[in-house]
Amino acid sequence: MSAPRTLVVAPGWVGDAVMALPVLEALAASGRRLRALAKPHLHPLLALVPAVEACVARSAADAETVRAIRAAGCDEAVLLPNSFHAAWLARRAGIPRRWGYRGDLRGWLLAPAVPRPRGKRPQVEDYRELLAAMGVEPPPSWVPRLALPPERAAEGRSLRERAGLGGDEPVVGLFAGAEFGPSKRWPFERFVELSRRLRRERPRLRQAIVAGPKEVWLSVRLHEQTGKVHPVVGPDLDLARLAGVLAGLDLLVTNDSGPMHLAAALGVPCVALFGPTDPARTAPAGPGHHVLYSDRWCSPCFRRRCPLLHHGCMKDLTVERALRDVLEVLESASARERGTGTN
């Protein structure tokens, strides 16, 4: 019997797609041949995942998406988003087996519908019951990991060198954006002050301003207000090339964001700034990360803008606290390099 072709409907956000990597690994290990249905901007990222044989474009027009799904010739679908729309697309495409969690009034679109798990836990483990219902063994680890192929790693080194980030001195990335909305963003002025303080504390330390295409204005402001000495990387890169750049960082200071999860999956430690979202759910997975969170009475609210207008959950996170954590991570890395990190 030939291996089944499985359409995996990927989440739409970069961070959610990264957190789904262990599920893709488990499905491929079960003998399935995976096709990932994803928005085009996610295809370069998913092309780095050995478990994914091909990507299917999810377009703005449902009819085009349904035609692309049918052309993929899949025997079953695994719906990672809990949306009605994801289930509707799989049903319209005529896929006979449609695995997904019940909810959002979509139970009748699933075959079978799996009861949604209860309780709070890290989001990376949300698909545990879905895999169990399919008879699929869980992954060896729920920590997402992404290994770059040699050509992508070499391309990343080249991009870093072109930005003036070659050599042996540590590189700290600063990511001031968050596509979800302004409530997730640490006040911009604090990124500026942190950059200046780092430069005074560690004059030889190099900094890189990381940005996606939607953070160009933020990155330009940060570049200008920190003396125009730190290169901006990322606005013109797809996710695979951005991963190549991030893989060479020694640390990323970041809001809760897609680049945060991507860096963590590449093994880069993060100092992560959380406010309206819940670090118990979406903190960077794996060891070596520092999470700053004030745990106000109103947090987490999951709003795109602060409903109380004061943005206190992010303003509580001081530059001094972030600087202390950054220096601690760098000292730990330096100690490991000297062979004294575990003594």
Delimit the domains of the chain by residue range.
5-133, 163-337
Residue from 331, 322, 190, 162 nearest 248 by CA: 162
Helix (H) / strand (E) containing 56: strand 52-57
Token pair of 85 as six digits:
């729309």
Does pLDDT of 339 surpass 80? Answer: no
Q: What's the number of CA atoms in the CB half-sphere (13 Å) around residue 100?
A: 36
pLDDT score of 241: 96
Q: Which CATH superfamily is domain 5-133 in?
A: Glycogen Phosphorylase B; (3.40.50.2000)
- Tens digit of each residue's pLDDT (9 = 90 or more) over 283-293: 999 999 999 99
Q: What's the mean pLDDT in 76-82?
A: 97
Would you call 209 helix, strand, or coil by DSSP? strand
Total residues found in the chain within this entry: 343
CA 210 to chain CA centroid, Å, is 14
For 81, 113, 183, 248, 295, the CA distances from 121, given in Å and listed in that order, are: 17, 21, 23, 30, 17
122, two tokens: 């890290």
CA distances from 306 to 181, 258, 284, 292, 311 (A): 10, 20, 23, 18, 5
Supply 128's token pair: 């545990």
* pLDDT tens digits, 202-257: 999 999 999 988 888 899 999 999 999 999 999 999 999 999 999 999 999 999 99
Determine the topology of domain 163-337 in CATH: Rossmann fold (3.40.50)
Q: What is the largest CA-CA distance in the chain?
A: 65
Give the pLDDT confidence of 98-135 residue by residue, as tens digits: 999 998 899 999 999 999 998 889 999 999 999 999 99
- The neighbouring-strand residues paired with 85 are none
Q: Hey, which residues does 272 pair with through a beta bridge?
A: 254, 291
* Terminal CA-CA length for the chain: 54
Q: Do 5-133 and 163-337 show the same overall fold?
A: yes
CA pair distance 181, 185, nearest whole angstrom: 8
- Tally of CA atoms within 13 A in the half-sphere of 296 that contains its CB: 19
3-state secondary structure of 131: helix
